[in-house]
Structure 1
């Protein structure tokens, strides 16, 4: 059964929920890389949200009672960086990583962007798998081997 996935701008109350989805420092690193420190706080996420070009989004669908995912898009020109992607732990393992990634790409299309890039911790296999399934291609970045750099060319897609 197909579920309608929707995105909406994140608000302060959402950040309290997102912080709860991060159980330890290792999970925080997978979520935010070095941009946040343990323990994560609502204030840290609010500080990130005011960065120039950054928009934070929550993801929901018609099956779940509350938002189950979060991502940021930071735009620069006609490109964006997808970051701080996370799914509520209660809903992991259900293929929602792909749904969230496709929702982020749709948001990028609405913003009339031509490319979305990301850097994911290389051994975060579920995330790397979801990005590949969504159509992201790996980019060689020898200076940061701990991350898999990936890009999606929107202008190449229908």
Structure 2
């Protein structure tokens, strides 16, 4: 059975298994998440209690995770900390994850969604472009490209 649900504390242990290096952690979690990543700290570091956080379960196993964060006004929501299980990458789960998060943002009144992507993450960059996201500013010194999509 496949289902979208709210993230749970036990998901953090699975996520930490998917993050294999400080670089991967920095790209995924941003500057507030510290290496080595620890499941018992991750829930608080990524503010799951405060941000709408979603998990895709397939037969009881976590397959994808992502969050929404409100931006400058209630009509812009930011898609963040998107990740797909390593063994499921390339199977269009990233597209399903983005579609689900965008739908959740629309339910919250969004007319625009944003996200950030590392420029060296070409599969993610191609996915976001295919989904209608476009550059929304210059690439940062960390190699992060802000992107946006009008809804």
TM-score higher than 0.5: yes
Residue matched to 1:42:
39
Q: Tell me which protein shows more helix as a share of its residues.
A: 1
Deviation sequence 1:120-146 (CA, Å, 0-9, x none): 111111111111111111112265571
Instruction: Supply the distance in 2 between the matched residues of 1:75 and 1:19 (Cα, whole angstroms).
Output: 25
Runs of at least 4 residues off by over 6 Å: none
In structure 2, list runs of 5 or more residues that go unmatched.
none
Instruction: Supply the distance in 2 between the matched residues of 1:133 and 1:112 (Cα, whole angstroms).
Output: 23
Q: 1:93 aligns with which of 90, 104, 124?
A: 90
Deviation sequence 1:93-132 (CA, Å, 0-9, x none): 2222112111111111122211111111111111111111
CA RMSD of aligned residues (A): 2.2
Relative distance call for 1:148 and 1:111 in structure 2 (3 A) is same
Instruction: Supply the distance in 1 between the matched residues of 2:2 and 2:147 (Cα, whole angstroms).
Output: 23
Paired residues, number:
148
Residue matched to 2:52:
55
> Scaled by the length of structure 2, what TM-score is found?
0.85
Residue matched to 1:69:
64
Relative distance call for 1:10 and 1:17 in structure 2 (3 A) is same
In structure 1, list runs of 5 or more residues that go unmatched.
none
Contact between 2:102 and 2:113, CA under 8 Å: does it hold in 1? yes
Q: 1:118 aligns with which of 115, 118, 127?
A: 115
Residue matched to 1:79:
76
Contact between 2:14 and 2:62, CA under 8 Å: does it hold in 1? no
Instruction: Supply the distance in 2 between the matched residues of 1:14 and 1:145 (Cα, whole angstroms).
Output: 28
> Scaled by the length of structure 1, what TM-score is found?
0.82
